[in-house]
Structure 1
Amino acid sequence: MTSERRTEHIPPGQPRARPASRQLPLTPPAWLLSGLRPSRTPVPWAAVVRAGIAMAAPLAVGFALDEPEYGALVSMGALSGVIGDTADAYRMRILNIAVPQLFGAVGVALGTLVFGHGWLAVGALTLIALVSGMISSIGTVASVSGLLLLLNAAVGAGLPLPKPWWIAPLLLSAGGLFVLALTLLGWPLRGRQPERAAVAGCYRSLAAALEAAGGPGYEERRLEVTQSLNQAYDLILGRRARVHGRNPALVRLLAQLNVLIPLVDAAPAAHLSSRPLPPEVPAAVRALASAVEEGRTGEPVLELPAPHGPSQRAIDTALRHAASIVYRADADPYNADDRLGRPAALRERARRAVREMVLSGASWRYGLRLALCIGLAQALVSLVPVERSYWVALTVTFVLKPDFGSVFSRAVLRALGTAGGLVLAAAVLSEVPRGWWDVPVMAVLAALIPAFTAKGYAFQTAAITPVILLLSDQLNHQGFDLIWPRLLDSLIGCAITLVAGYLLWPESWHTRLGDRLADAVEDSARYVERAFGAADATDADEAAARTARLHARRRIYRELTGVRSEFQRALTEPPPTGARAAAWWPLVVAVERIVDATTAARVRVNHGAESPAPEEVAAITAELRGLAEGVRTSRTPAEVRVGPRPPGAEESVLAPLHQEIVAARAIATEH
């Protein structure tokens, strides 16, 4: 009797489970360990220095003018700017920092006007929470804006701020704009550097994928290629929407990015050939990355070995074409390599986003969840004497952000992070005398925020907590007595969020993972049709088909990135959600491999392989649609039912695709 070794599918970032007989009874659950494990993301040292200066300088000015409260408010505004400074391109940084500051100023003004008005403040903050939650669904900038609107409103309604009412909004906005000014100091020297670095990063990530082709590390490298392409296109197309007319530098960058797509398409074919590529190939791609980053022009010099087989011919052809575009000073003069189209104007996209927000059920549901939790928090602190009660609403707002990850795990991690931050805050408030010593201490504590934010949410919370307490102490002079109330308030806020924002909403623990995955499988079927459905096409039709395939491939890989992110979020949830996500995860990987196999087959056909028969293409698409329907109607992979496997010729160009579909079927029907 032979035994077969099964491959265990373990999601990235998830620890390998111990056997049941050896599981330690006190071992923390995997979803908690994943949040407490620091990320390997490098520390952004420029942001570290900027945060220390941005938050310590206002305090120093406040002490010099004998107005420490004013300095503390400016530093609070700088804190929101430090947290919101997450973009790479300078134009996006203006939006990410300046626009939320406007909403924050409105929020603190509204909060100040209802300070001390009891139930009026409860109603006002509940309504603000509804608006904040709804606008958070529009996009990244809107999400930060909604967050700051509600946070500052809670601060204004809970703290006695300087009079008249317009002083606090003015000072908080000044702090955010100070961060923006520090951020933009490098713009004259590095105006286009973020975009160039993003495009060069795409070339480098692809070089790593080509180097790993045919080996076990390819899948992870391929995912990095997709992520870097998404980031680069977001940067360049976002900037392109705000440029009137043709910008030569921007056109060249977009051409250099677009010309990389044939190389990306050829990578799966090289991987499926199971033969490592010559080392000269990834080395040449890295040389192109350096040329993009440095803006070099001239005649490309490529020393590549003679290609063998369709996949290597595809790599060779795409690489030589990419080199001709990268080194050309007037790249893409006739827009030949600009196939993605011009995005809609910023005003039109904003109008469309607002319309979708108002008509979206998900937007209303999240707004109502946030409004319910904030209303309960404010009603509780109005009925029960809770000292400095604004911290409860702040906790609810930070935890109940759907685009920040799992609500449940964030509530637990925030409680742990707050406890860790309070230990540091206790040492500062008990040992550091109030006054000028607060300036160097603030510089050190503020610098920890960007450094710890890169490591994870619990670490970010631990870094922000002592900063906020030190600033609060400048306003209310309570010192060490702030420690215990802050911990109690955080625990109350986390409890409200877990009950009213998580457990009472079935969508929190009945995820739509199967639906998202089924949509991806259906898109895979359409992608197969686009890749092989056009026969006997004219040159013009073939060019249009190539463009359509490019659109389809970029769309499906971006969608798969979103599916993977959704699964990664669900994996941090406690059972049963986390267990269901882990069960579906192998099928997510299988769908990604199906798309790779389709792309590889199309590349082989383009370089001499025989096209598949229409009947074979139809059978594969029908099978994928059947798999999608099975996934959509099942709660677990074991419940998926699919039809019999259609016959496929072993020598067909689609043979690897057949194999990947068989693997997906085996995963879906596994008991």
Structure 2
Amino acid sequence: MRLPSLSLSLRRLWALEKFGYSLRVLVALAGSMVLSWYLRQPALVIPLFLGIIASALAETDDSWRGRLVALAVTLLCFSIAAVAVQLLFPYPWPFAIGLALATFVLVMLGALGERYATIAQATLILAIYSMIAADQRGENLHVWRDSMLLVAGAAWYGLLSVLWNAIFTHQPVQHSLARLYRELGEYFRLKAALFEPVLQLDLEERRLELAQQNCRVVAALNETKETLLHRLGNRPAGGRINHYLKLYFLAQDLHERVSSSHYPYQALAEAFFHSDVLYRCQRLLKLQARACVELGTAIRLRQPFVYSEANAQAAKDLEAALAHLRQQNNPAWRGLLRSLRALLGNLTAMQRQLASASNPDALEGTQDSSLLDRQPQSLRDAISRIRLQCTPTSLLFRHALRMTLALIAGYVVLHTVQPEQGFWVLLTTLFVCQPSYGATRIKLVQRISGTVLGLIAGWALFGLFPSQLIQALFAVVAGVVFFATRSSRYTLATAAITLLVLFCFNQVGDGYGLIWPRLIDTLLGSLISAAAVFLILPDWQGRR
């Protein structure tokens, strides 16, 4: 019994969305740490780690060929940023002008799509990492060494990413489809809650929850669509990709059916309060919700999907209950019974579709070629998209302007106040300043609390584990925790990246001396970000 249990546990671990990402980061960080210890040059750790972090933040979903092209573009952008920082660093005025222009242009590249926005954001991050490295170097004669190490660390992680995508091509598609069916199952469950046969039911609250969940389903549909198209390109679908494409079209059809019709829920509850027909509608929807979740789990674990016979029986019971109501020939129910018959037809169609999910290759479906137009098709198209965003009414334009002025303000502050490790102010500003007021406020609280938590933990761990080797292991683990939690638990991720910085700097100097500067710089950067969002083209509706 132990071997099957162990095999299932390993399969579940492998199927976790963040497992592959975390494993790549672990290999990259551990390899860099081993190299620095082998060469007896602990100073290599900081630029290599920072380059790996920037490259991992620039990673987007793609096929291995697309990832290779994206890596080449990323390394080119990183190299230009690192060289520009080294050339302009001694000259404050040209540096400030270059920083402003680069920030505005890179943020506006987000108009071309998520892939461009991610690479542009990572390029800004690496530019600030280059500033931190140049500030640490002081009068060191090795002017270009840290820049080359930053790019080398980025290339090291990028090659690992390309290799991973070449070996495990379909894993991101499985994760996207599993997430899609999980969100779809939640939508079914919330839809079932509308059929609660209770008088004076607060339908508006449940409709709001349903609308919010619908946004998540649509986002999951778009994400899965992009993931599939990255694997398809202009080639016809075949093999396993065709299998996943059919599952995507199945989810799309299910979503259209479950969200297409609106019924007089309160009128149904009042008319059929003494009947079980609404309970049977609700039960069938809940069973279909469970089937969607089980289908997502089967896709994620690469196991066969078994559709429960309880769904078919629930559909038959609902049909029998509806037939009993029709036999009563109540004239007041005529219009409501038509709604129930339409509902039954929709539920029956969805049941047949879910039953066919165990063999999606038999489903009809072709690629929707119109989906390929989401990315800019030419340089003229790209320029046109950016030009359309160059207006104060554009959320992206306002964010680009805020970010530019916020980073310039941070640069002026660090030259005026001259805080120790002052360039961390710019890094905090870059991470905290978000496109909207609400998002910035949330990120600000999470960043400050995570930094405080990480500094306290670092101070305690320095005393408990003075060994450099153990601290090096802590740095690697902290880096993995950061990437595993940065999109879901940002406070924990901030604490982890703070620990990584403390342990890395303690490899070459005094980690204790970084605690107070890190806290002060975080507070300054957060204050600048909050002021920028509050004062520069503020989003008044969001603020209310």
Same fold flag (TM > 0.5): yes
Q: Relative to 1, partners in 2 of residues 1:130 and 1:464: Cα closer, same or farther, differing over 3 Å? A: same
| Corresponding position of 2:32 | 58
d(CA) in 2 for partners of 1:238, 1:88: 5
Q: Relative to 1, partners in 2 of residues 1:225 and 1:392: Cα closer, same or farther, differing over 3 Å? A: closer
SS state at 2:282 partner: coil
Give 2:425's match in structure 1, choosing from 380, 389, 392. Answer: 392
Give 1:170's match in structure 2, choosing from 136, 148, 160. Answer: 148
Q: Relative to 1, partners in 2 of residues 1:225 and 1:412: Cα closer, same or farther, differing over 3 Å? A: closer
| Corresponding position of 1:485 | 517
Q: Relative to 1, partners in 2 of residues 1:177 and 1:243: Cα closer, same or farther, differing over 3 Å? A: farther
Q: Residue deviations 1:119-160, cap 9 Å, x none?
A: 333333233222233224443232332222222223323433
Give 2:373's match in structure 1, choosing from 339, 344, 351. Answer: 344
Give 1:442's match in structure 2, choosing from 468, 475, 487. Answer: 475
Map of 1:213-232 to 2, 5 A cutoff? 213-215=191-193, 219=210, 225-232=217-224
Q: How many residues align?
A: 466
d(CA) in 2 for partners of 1:76, 1:288: 40
Contact 2:294 2:305 in 1 (8 A): no
Give the alignment's Cα RMSD to 1 decimal: 3.9
Q: Does 1:145 align with 2:119?
A: yes
Q: Residue deviations 1:554-575, cap 9 Å, x none?
A: xxxxxxxxxxxxxxxx4xxxxx
Q: Relative to 1, partners in 2 of residues 1:266 and 1:47: Cα closer, same or farther, differing over 3 Å? A: same
Contact 1:430 1:479 in 2 (8 A): no
Q: Structure 2 regions of 5+ residues with no counterpart? A: 1-15, 195-205, 269-277, 320-340
Contact 1:263 1:318 in 2 (8 A): yes
Map of 1:438-517 to 2, 5 A cutoff? 438-474=471-507, 477-499=509-531, 501-508=532-539, 510-511=540-541
| Corresponding position of 2:18 | 44
Give the % identical residues. Answer: 21
Shift of 1:61: 0.8
Give 1:367's match in structure 2, choosing from 381, 393, 400. Answer: 400
d(CA) in 2 for partners of 1:290, 1:370: 41
Q: Does 1:357 align with 2:363?
A: no
Q: Relative to 1, partners in 2 of residues 1:120 and 1:433: Cα closer, same or farther, differing over 3 Å? A: farther
Q: Relative to 1, partners in 2 of residues 1:141 and 1:443: Cα closer, same or farther, differing over 3 Å? A: same
d(CA) in 1 for partners of 2:379, 2:283: 46
Give 1:410's match in structure 2, choosing from 435, 443, 452. Answer: 443
Q: Relative to 1, partners in 2 of residues 1:288 and 1:297: Cα closer, same or farther, differing over 3 Å? A: closer
d(CA) in 2 for partners of 1:200, 1:415: 34
Bigger helix share: 2
Q: Residue deviations 1:524-561, cap 9 Å, x none?
A: xxxxxxxxxxxxxxxxxxxxxxxxxxxxxxxxxxxxxx
| Corresponding position of 2:90 | 116
Map of 1:199-348 to 2, 5 A cutoff? 199-210=177-188, 213-215=191-193, 219=210, 225-240=217-232, 242-247=233-238, 249-268=240-259, 269=261, 272=265, 274=278, 275-278=281-284, 281=288, 294=302, 303=312, 305-306=315-316, 308=319, 309-321=341-353, 323-324=355-356, 327=359, 329=361, 331-332=363-364, 337-338=366-367, 341-344=370-373, 346=375, 348=377
Contact 2:247 2:360 in 1 (8 A): no
Q: Relative to 1, partners in 2 of residues 1:411 and 1:93: Cα closer, same or farther, differing over 3 Å? A: farther
Q: Relative to 1, partners in 2 of residues 1:445 and 1:98: Cα closer, same or farther, differing over 3 Å? A: farther
Shift of 1:291: 7.1
Shift of 1:64: 0.8
d(CA) in 2 for partners of 1:345, 1:221: 24
d(CA) in 2 for partners of 1:426, 1:347: 49
Q: Does 1:192 align with 2:170?
A: yes
Q: Structure 1 regions of 5+ residues with no counterpart? A: 1-41, 512-569, 571-576, 581-671
Contact 1:105 1:152 in 2 (8 A): no
d(CA) in 1 for partners of 2:130, 2:252: 50
Q: Residue deviations 1:301-343, cap 9 Å, x none?
A: 99554363221222223443565576254654xxx55457341
d(CA) in 1 for partners of 2:73, 2:104: 19
Q: Relative to 1, partners in 2 of residues 1:321 and 1:340: Cα closer, same or farther, differing over 3 Å? A: farther
Q: Residue deviations 1:237-278, cap 9 Å, x none?
A: 3443x3434445434433332233343233255985743244
SS state at 1:401 partner: coil
d(CA) in 2 for partners of 1:479, 1:152: 22
Contact 2:59 2:118 in 1 (8 A): no
